[in-house]
Structure 1
């Protein structure tokens, strides 16, 4: 097998080492350090959707006892390794959650169910991803400047008979019309969209939860009901990996509803264990939701620069004629409350978590 990690050679002369970093009672010791150059190229990282990788260097004198001698805190010029991207023509896939964002009030119309545009915005840039992920609203101009590729569906969903072309920039097939400089019937000189985006509903999933997609117009998508309780409080401290003495991640400011490691202002770090089976029935409500769907993009080509994600990140946005030029996220991050779950005609959840005692792992 070809090596996945390449490392510069160990210095062979004292002139290549730095002895000035350690001293004992004013005397220079034999401890020293030297620069190490590392590179990584492993296609398995892309296949596993790995977005961030950083180096950890270990050393040993006898191949039995090992010490961590450097990690991302000492990496220069960047704490994270530059990611290698897939070749031009590769297909990148993103699957949405089962339930779209619940309305703020039970009596309000859920997002995406009236005459609407559902747009997938792709970007390679982590800074652009942060802007898109943290914004409660995004304008047409921001989409034109922040998205590398866009595409999606439009019209009226859930078995509607309305013609999708009644919406500007919506084709007779219920797809958002896109060109390198335009989308949804609007043109922007600063846009440079690449690739081709497609959306397909997932009326079913296989035994491991992967989408079984179905090609059908947006008006024929099979919508379902979801149950949501805004007052379901989760446990105060979520499980997280925390290494003593490890500082925060440079440049990371967080995403909506997701606290950073070590940030206790919103109930601790990121985790996956939920507790609290005492659901408040008065606060729960059932609402109509778009089905789970899958977004794929091909023909993006190679991104420029080295500050890039290993795969293009996807943000799903929606708008309607009632809010022209304003796009809102169709899905939300949930930390303090359980995410909505699909329910049957009786209002009982269709999918359930793996329960252990009073806790449920979703």
Structure 2
């Protein structure tokens, strides 16, 4: 069949370029020690930055939520799927982010990808221009594509280029859209300067804080707290399946923005609401993030990042500078990155190789992610393996 032959030929091309992906199957909860395809591994590849995915309080809250609300929501939020757990979670998230937003309200989504599609397609009407960071996540890129707005892409971190674009625009609505922590590099966007530009040019600053929420800031309020930002121009998206350990995402902004999303965001309106049990579990997760235990876990994570920074000795490979849990090691060639990941895997260390199109050609890398649940000895084991592996190559 020609259609199948065409697909197979393209798959063969991916394989020849060392770009074909494969899945591994975990047989245990998300944790530093996992069973993968029947084998015990030490994992440095999840986004469970605070180690809450298998936290006993969160797991128990999920079990309790299923008992209270059942397994599913049954409908979209605007029909009958909006449960008391969803409402309480949105109220709690709005209160949590209140120091950084004016008259805040929060809206819960099934996934971060869906939240970004909803947010940009609803705010990015035909009278708008979206100014998108060149290294933005795929969900933001696809949200721009879904919007009816004109899209201008500015170079990574280039404030001067962005200011020229903003100054030249006569659009009724302007949206500057950026990741906070860039998921493949681990660096942080210059949010204070971006916000100053947005306030000067009457633009929204849409911040995707997927990898900052729960981790950055004294109390885990993410990149906004990290920089001490507060403004009515801010529209904030945080995911709840990474540091929060469960699933879904939320948008927090002025209550008028959120009401507009409720009325006009098609990815929110026309989908079944997430299981209420997940929202119930997230209430427990948010208590941990905001409390003393969350403080202790963030401190542990910072210590592990410092340990990796101090002890990793690379001559040819390059660790990108990052204060976050994302610690990329750029190798270059696709096959060499795959070989390095395979060599680590053979030693019982699960570190993924990231290749184009996720990263630019020639910058294939190992993406090390740290969790507060890792120990200093586990990180030392990884460092020894990486140092020896690079020296041998």
Superposed pair shares fold, TM > 0.5: no
Interval containing the TM-score (normalised by the shorter chain): under 0.3
Structure with bigger gyration radius: 1
* TM-score normalised to structure 2 length: 0.23
The structure richer in helix per residue is 2
